[in-house]
Amino acid sequence: MSIVAAYVVPHPPLIVPAVGHGQERAIQATVDAYEEVARRIAAHAPDTIVVVSPHAPLYYDCFHVSTGDAAHGDMGRFDAWEAAMNVPCDPSFSAAVSACARARGVPICGSGMRDGELDHATFVPLHFVNERYAGYRLVRVGLSGLTPADHREVGRCIAEAACDLDRTCVLVASGDLSHKLKEDGPYGFAPEGPVFDRTVTGLLDEGDLEGLFSIDAAFRDAAAECGLGSFQIMAGALDGVPATHELLSYEGPFGVGYAVAAFEVQGPTGDGAVAAGVDAEADARGTEDEAAAEQDGADPFVALARAAVEGFVRTGRPLARPDGLPPELADVRAGVFVSLHEGGDLRGCIGTIEPVTGSIADEIIRNGTAAASEDPRFPPVGAGELDALSYSVDVLFPPEPVDSEAALNPARYGVIVTLGRRRGLLLPNLEGVDTATQQVAIARAKAGIAPDERGVRLERFQVVRHDRGGEARHG
C-alpha cells in the first residue's frame, strides 16, 4: 500500500471543547470540516497516520522523526487536563523514513528528545480522529530550517516508507496560516497576512501543490505563518500521485488563518473508499450492469451519473467504468459538473473546469461520486435518499477569454473569473441570474475576489446540459 489520502488541518487549541468551552462555535465551519476529515480517515482505516507538526521538536539543520513505541498528550497547558490521550507509535515506519532521508542527503535528528510528548499541533487533529477511529499507529515528523526541497524529500520518503512496508497510510499536515490577519488579534496585523492566506488557500483549492514551493521566504515570514513547511512535506508525499483536491473550509475570525483541505489519492494505492467484501463487489458489478442497461432508454450521461452515485453509496466503492459506452463518453475528454437535486433543491454539485481524467465517462464517475460524498455544503448522500434524487450533467466546452462583461450572456455562457491564483466559476442558465453583472459578481464571491479588486481576467464557456428529461441541451 502507500499514501491513500492527505489532509491540511489547523491546530487552534480551543477547537477541543474542553479548552474552548463554547468558543469553538465561532469557527464552526472549521469544526465541521475537521469532522469530515476524521470521517474520511476512519473510512480509510489506515495502519499508520503520519502527522507533520510545526510544534514537534524543531531544529535548524535537521528534521525530527519520532521514535519510541507510544506517546502521551494532553491539554494541561491550556487548563484542560481532562483532555488527554495515549497513542501507539510505529517505530519501524519512523526508521524507514529516517533511513530514506539520510540516503538522500537530508539530515534527520536522532536524539529521541520529547518523543513521548505530543505537542498541541499533533494532539488537536488526533482528538478528532480518535472520536471515530483507533486502529492506527502514529508517526510524528517535525519541520526544520532547511530548504523547501528538503521538505519535499522528507515527504517523498514518507510515501516510500508506506510502500516499502506495505502500510495503508494517511498523512495529516498540521499548520495554521497567517497569524497577522487582524489589528485586535493576538499577533496584530500585517498586510502580507491576508495575501498569504489567499495565496495558499488558492493553491490548495486548485490542487497546485507545486506552487507551495515558490512562496518567497521573506513574504511568509512577514505573514507569520506556521504551516507552509508541513504543506510542502505533504506535497512531497503526493508527488506524482493522482489525487482529488478540495478546500473544505477557511476562516480567520481570531486573527489567525485556519484552512482545511483534502487530497484523496486515486487509483490502485487509494481509491478514497473503504475496501469492501465479496457481497459489495457483487453489488458493484450489478450496478455496472444496470448502468449499461439504463443507457438503452435514458440519456447515457445521466444514467452513468446515477449509476456512479448509487454504486458508491450502496457499496462504498467507486464505480468501474462500464463497457459498451458510446464514443462521446468513452473517447472524449472535457470538464464536467455533476449536480444532484432532491425535491427541487440542490443536494450536491462537484465539477472540473478542465478534464483531470482520461474521458468524460471517468469525469462523470469521479465528480458524481464526489457530489454525493464530498460536497462540504451537504452531508453525504444516504441509501434512503437515492430514489428521490435527480441528476444533471454539464459538459464544458473549452473556455475562451473575453474583454468585458459585454461579451457575456448568462443564459448562454458560463463565466470564469481569475485574479492571480484565485478562480471562480458559474454555470450558465441559472435561476435568478439574469445579467452578466450578477453572474460576474457571484463568480467573484466564489473566488474570494472583492468587488473593488482590479485586474480580473474574464473567460466564457458553453456547456451541453444533460438532465433527467433525457435531452441534451446547449447552455
Percent of the chain with pLDDT over 70: 90
Residue numbers of the domain that contains 448: 400-464
Model confidence at 353, in pLDDT bands (50, 70, 90)? confident
Contact 90, 173 (CB under 8 A): no
Rounded CA-CA distance 409/47 in Å is 52
Residues 31 and 84 in one domain: yes
Rounded CA-CA distance 430/436 in Å is 12
Least-confidence region, from 192-206, 292-306, 380-394? 292-306
Q: How many domains does the chain have?
A: 3
Residues 419 and 294 in one domain: no
Q: Is the pLDDT assigned to residue 456 strictly greater than 50?
A: yes
Q: According to the model, what pLDDT value does residue 36 have?
A: 94
Rounded CA-CA distance 44/46 in Å is 6
Q: Indicate which CATH number applies to the domain containing 55.
A: 3.40.830.10
Residues 362 and 434 in one domain: no
Rounded CA-CA distance 333/252 in Å is 38
Task: Report the mean per-residue pLDDT for the chain.
Answer: 87
pLDDT tens digits along 216-271 = 999 999 999 999 999 999 999 999 888 999 999 999 989 999 999 999 998 544 44
- Closest among 283, 281, 238, 280 to 261, alpha carbons compared: 238
Residues 349 and 214 in one domain: no
Give Cα 196 to chain centroid, integer Å: 19
Residues 286 and 405 in one domain: no
Instruction: Judge residue 222's burial from the number of C-beta atoms within 10 Å of its C-beta, 0-12 exposed, 13-18 middle, 19 or more buried.
Output: middle
**Residue 401: beta bridge partners?**
459
Contact 175, 8 (CB under 8 A): yes
Residues 44 and 161 in one domain: yes
Rounded CA-CA distance 328/300 in Å is 10
Is residue 447 included in any domain, yes or no? yes
Q: Is the pLDDT assigned to residue 110 strictly greater than 70?
A: no
Instruction: Dump strand ranges (E) for 118-274.
Output: 137-142, 169-174, 246-251, 258-264
Q: According to the model, what pLDDT value does residue 298 have?
A: 64
Residues 407 and 385 in one domain: no
Least-confidence region, from 7-11, 53-57, 154-158, 467-471? 467-471
Contact 24, 17 (CB under 8 A): yes
Give Cα 283 to chain centroid, integer Å: 28
Residues 177 and 35 in one domain: yes
Contact 233, 156 (CB under 8 A): no
Residues 311 and 191 in one domain: no
Q: Indicate which CATH number applies to the domain containing 421.
A: 3.30.1490.150
pLDDT tens digits along 289-301 = 444 334 434 689 9
pTM of the model: 0.59
Is residue 196 included in any domain, yes or no? yes
Instruction: For the chain, give the longest Cα–Cα distance.
Output: 67
Is residue 473 included in any domain, yes or no? no
